[in-house]
Structure 1
Amino acid sequence: MQLNTIPKNEAERLLAVKSYKLDRHQNDVDFNNITELASSLTNIPASLISIVEEDEVWFKSAKGMQICTSDRNLSFCSYAVASDDDIYIVEDTKKDLRFINHPYTKNGKDSVVFYAGVCLVDKNDHKLGTLCVIDNKPNSLNEQQKDALKLLAKQVVKLIELNKSNIKLRQTKRKLTKKNKMLKGFASQVAHDMKMPLANMILTTDILMSKYKKDIDNQGLDYLKNIKSASLSLSNYINNLLSYYENSAMGKKSAEHFSFNQLLEEVIDILNIKVDCSINLPDKDYDIHTNRAALELILLNLITNSLKYNDKPETVIDIELDTSDAQYDFITVRDNGIGIAKEKQKQIFKLFSTVEETDRFGQRGHGIGLSTVKKLVSNLGGNINVNSKIGEGSSFKFSIKK
């Protein structure tokens, strides 16, 4: 007799199957674990996860059978999908009038004699395929085994839906990466284009104040000073923004061995500190292995902040290095500065987030330095956190993967 293989909602079902974009590889551990469990729980040697498409049935996982595809018109999984039964069972095909002349029942030791399949039904009631168990001799399932097979079929559907979500996430990630790259390029180009006009503004105000000082009253000079100050602040902001984007990938490559204390001494020389300050280096010097340029930029940012946000007569900065851990080096930069309020400590590593209106020199922060630090620390395989009290100072501790 001719067996039905076409469900009532076939057109919508086929669209649903295609929407999940499953690949045909049978090396997915999660799917293979389910067919292993299905065979184990039912004591039946073969188990398949089938996907029923328009003209063929293919198998995402196959336990106990060397099979990849089957003709849809002949597949028992296709019959299960077209059936209204919650579990499609044929205990002995050789005695069932529907299957007496079926070619799969006349295949010697590889004949399909017993079949039990539970449909893979998604949240929209589309039958995508089946989780089935197959034997080459007559068999049966008790109620507990049927329930187990149904539960496993639900897990297969969850895996299929998770696969679809992961595909969407990867697509979204690719789009965001592309847009982020375009945004970085735009920000970098705009910043570069703004640097020359700003430099001209600063130079022009200097010329005006120098050459025409006698012809401009005090109020006019104050206006020029304000223009210069604002231009310098904007120029500094642009330089920091460029640094953030240009150094975003720094630290992922080019690791080298170097003296930590020597690096610190070079950083201190670069800073050219003009305030009363004591910087205490680690008592013992160690060679560490990481990206030198990235670590230098991290320390420059942290020590600069310790200098800028300090209201004490003498700024004290303690720097420690702990190399005792097998996987990470830990570096701490501690100061006696103004401190950071507890409610603001979680925000300081976000781009453009600032704690204070101005620093000790009257300059406004732009909230770029610490976000750069966090990105660089992450590139070095580590994490950073802060411990701080208002009026007592701040301690920044970060790790670097060895």
Structure 2
Amino acid sequence: MISPPLPANEDKRLESIRKLDIINSFAEETYDSITKLASEICQTPIALISILGSETNWFKSKQGTDIPESDRKISFCGHAILKPEELFEVPNTLEDIRFKDNPLVTAGENGIRFYAGVPILDAEGLPLGTLCVLDSKEHRLTENQKSALRTLAKQVELLFEYRRKNQALEKMKNDLDETNRILREFASTVSHDLKMPLANMIITADILKAKYSKKMDSEGINYLNYLKHSGLTLSEYINGLLDHYSSSNLEDDTSHEFFLNDLLEDIIDLLQIDQNCEINLPDNNLLIHGNSAALGQIFMNLISNSIKYNSSEKIIIEIDCTENREFYNFSISDNGIGIPKEKQNYIFELFTTVADRDREGKKGHGIGLSTVKKLVGSLGGNIRLTSEEDEGTHFEFSIMRTKLVD
């Protein structure tokens, strides 16, 4: 018996296997279907997808045997990977000096007499293992069988590549989750730390104005007004950040049963609208099983924007809702200033605003719509808009029923 020598690129090959993180993974139907096909096409009782580690030849998938692995020193696959671009075939192991006294060959009537394997390569051409077929009797593959075995090996390579990409995506997701967690904690900490000094600044400005206004000229009064206005603007900005980063808590809120119009009426009361505004609620007061806190936050942001970014003498907002087997579908339209075409593709991004100034001349912070999109997505839905400048905006969004049902 001749044990297989190590390939020249053994260290890189083993590193590639380590990064794939597949040895000792659970059985998967996608791999098992390939070995089953290989066995049937090549007319052999045994088919394996092997991964050649430093000490063992481990089987990711196996047909016709229950053995999970073999010693690399006696493996056929160790020889097969030495020529990564070629199919390795041994028609009769008893006639091959490398294998005739191999324990796998001399194991009585169950000993291996035939082996054929195609190396499975990574993206850099490093052989990780093989797709191989084995028989206890002498055998030769036809050209069609060889071609089919090579094709199936390519499918294994694709599965390995998909596994790598999924791992990279999972790592990216975990990194983003961790980054978002840190950002949430940072935003929450900084925002809370700033709220009290800001409140003190606003109150102090009011006290100074009330106590010393008679001793100040108009310029001094204007400075105090500017100081208070700046404090209020920054306070609104901080509250917006807190709402955005605390929206993750709303996503986890438990589902319950509520009527949509009842929720909308509560939101309208909370907004304390002092404008000439008409809000038309849906004709059908839909009964919803879902996350009222998240849905309420969505509508609060959208209604608030419809009021703020509206220059009409009378603000008109239309809200509608339908349902089907999979989704609740909502819409909200207004007669506001609309959203320019060039902004519509990224209006849901954080810190993007509809306009430079709202109805009262205040500058927006661009947090509300990004929070809306985040909440809608967390509830299994999508949101889109249609808008024309000076003609209003129409939002449509959906929420998956299975996400809302308790």
Q: Fold conserved (TM > 0.5)?
A: yes
Question: Could you say which residue in structure 2 is the equivalent of 1:397?
Answer: 396
Q: How does 1:242-391 map to 2 (within 5 A)?
A: 242-323=242-323, 325-391=324-390
Secondary structure, aligned partner of 2:172: helix
How far did 1:128 drift?
A: 1.6
Q: 2: distance between equivalents of 1:127 and 1:368? A: 51
Q: 2: distance between equivalents of 1:26 and 1:251? A: 33
- The verdict on how the C-alpha distance between 1:18 and 1:380 changes in structure 2, with shifts beyond 3 A counting, is closer
How far did 1:145 drift?
A: 1.7
Secondary structure, aligned partner of 1:241: helix
The answer to whether the 8 Å contact 1:48/1:131 transfers is: yes
The superposition leaves residues 330-356 of structure 1 with CA deviations (integer Å, 9 ceiling, x where unpaired) of 111111111111221121111111120
How far did 1:25 drift?
A: 3.2
Query: Mean Cα displacement is larger for which, 312-321 or 117-126?
Result: 117-126
Q: 2: distance between equivalents of 1:167 and 1:288? A: 38
Q: Aligned pair count? A: 401
Secondary structure, aligned partner of 2:330: strand
Secondary structure, aligned partner of 1:212: helix
Consecutive unaligned residues of structure 1, counting only runs of 5 or more, are: none
Q: 2: distance between equivalents of 1:353 and 1:194? A: 23
The answer to whether the 8 Å contact 2:331/2:397 transfers is: yes
| Amino acid paired to 2:172 | T
Aligned-residue RMSD, C-alpha: 1.9
Query: Mean Cα displacement is larger for which, 65-74 or 29-38?
Result: 29-38
The superposition leaves residues 193-233 of structure 1 with CA deviations (integer Å, 9 ceiling, x where unpaired) of 11111111111111121111111111121121111111111
How far did 1:167 drift?
A: 2.6
How far did 1:314 drift?
A: 0.8
2:241 is equivalent to residue 241 of structure 1: yes
The superposition leaves residues 33-56 of structure 1 with CA deviations (integer Å, 9 ceiling, x where unpaired) of 221222233232321011112222
The superposition leaves residues 63-95 of structure 1 with CA deviations (integer Å, 9 ceiling, x where unpaired) of 122121111121111222245771111112234
Q: How does 1:180-219 map to 2 (within 5 A)?
A: 180-219=180-219
Secondary structure, aligned partner of 1:73: helix
The answer to whether the 8 Å contact 2:93/2:114 transfers is: yes
The superposition leaves residues 123-147 of structure 1 with CA deviations (integer Å, 9 ceiling, x where unpaired) of 3342221110111222111222212
The answer to whether the 8 Å contact 2:253/2:293 transfers is: no
Question: Could you say which residue in structure 1 is the equivalent of 2:118?
Answer: 118
2:167 is equivalent to residue 167 of structure 1: yes
Query: Mean Cα displacement is larger for which, 176-185 or 9-18?
Result: 9-18
The answer to whether the 8 Å contact 2:84/2:127 transfers is: no
The answer to whether the 8 Å contact 1:41/1:148 transfers is: yes
| Amino acid paired to 2:190 | V
| Amino acid paired to 1:184 | R
| Amino acid paired to 2:157 | V
Question: Could you say which residue in structure 1 is the equivalent of 2:38?
Answer: 38
Q: Percent identity of the aligned residues? A: 45
Query: Mean Cα displacement is larger for which, 7-16 or 249-258?
Result: 7-16
The answer to whether the 8 Å contact 2:38/2:47 transfers is: yes
How far did 1:26 drift?
A: 4.8
The answer to whether the 8 Å contact 2:384/2:395 transfers is: yes
2:101 is equivalent to residue 101 of structure 1: yes
Consecutive unaligned residues of structure 2, counting only runs of 5 or more, are: 402-406
| Amino acid paired to 1:330 | N
The answer to whether the 8 Å contact 2:338/2:391 transfers is: yes
The answer to whether the 8 Å contact 2:2/2:99 transfers is: no
Question: Could you say which residue in structure 1 is the equivalent of 2:404?
Answer: none
How far did 1:282 drift?
A: 1.4
Question: Could you say which residue in structure 2 is the equivalent of 1:15?
Answer: 15
How far did 1:12 drift?
A: 3.6
- The verdict on how the C-alpha distance between 1:194 and 1:88 changes in structure 2, with shifts beyond 3 A counting, is same
Q: 1: distance between equivalents of 2:164 and 2:283? A: 55
| Amino acid paired to 1:183 | L
| Amino acid paired to 2:228 | K
Secondary structure, aligned partner of 2:233: helix
The answer to whether the 8 Å contact 2:23/2:51 transfers is: no
Secondary structure, aligned partner of 1:2: coil
- The verdict on how the C-alpha distance between 1:156 and 1:342 changes in structure 2, with shifts beyond 3 A counting, is same
The answer to whether the 8 Å contact 1:38/1:149 transfers is: yes
Secondary structure, aligned partner of 1:171: helix
Q: 2: distance between equivalents of 1:131 and 1:326? A: 45
Question: Could you say which residue in structure 1 is the equivalent of 2:227?
Answer: 227
- The verdict on how the C-alpha distance between 1:185 and 1:35 changes in structure 2, with shifts beyond 3 A counting, is same
Secondary structure, aligned partner of 2:321: strand
| Amino acid paired to 1:333 | I
The answer to whether the 8 Å contact 1:322/1:331 transfers is: yes
Q: How does 1:144-155 map to 2 (within 5 A)?
A: 144-155=144-155
- The verdict on how the C-alpha distance between 1:15 and 1:377 changes in structure 2, with shifts beyond 3 A counting, is closer
The answer to whether the 8 Å contact 1:35/1:61 transfers is: yes
Q: 2: distance between equivalents of 1:10 and 1:276? A: 77
The answer to whether the 8 Å contact 1:202/1:231 transfers is: yes
Query: Mean Cα displacement is larger for which, 234-243 or 99-108?
Result: 99-108
The answer to whether the 8 Å contact 2:309/2:354 transfers is: no
Q: TM-score, normalised by structure 1?
A: 0.94
The answer to whether the 8 Å contact 1:5/1:72 transfers is: no
- The verdict on how the C-alpha distance between 1:353 and 1:137 changes in structure 2, with shifts beyond 3 A counting, is same
- The verdict on how the C-alpha distance between 1:117 and 1:397 changes in structure 2, with shifts beyond 3 A counting, is same
Secondary structure, aligned partner of 2:251: coil
How far did 1:60 drift?
A: 0.7
Q: 1: distance between equivalents of 2:274 and 2:135? A: 85
Query: Mean Cα displacement is larger for which, 10-19 or 59-68?
Result: 10-19
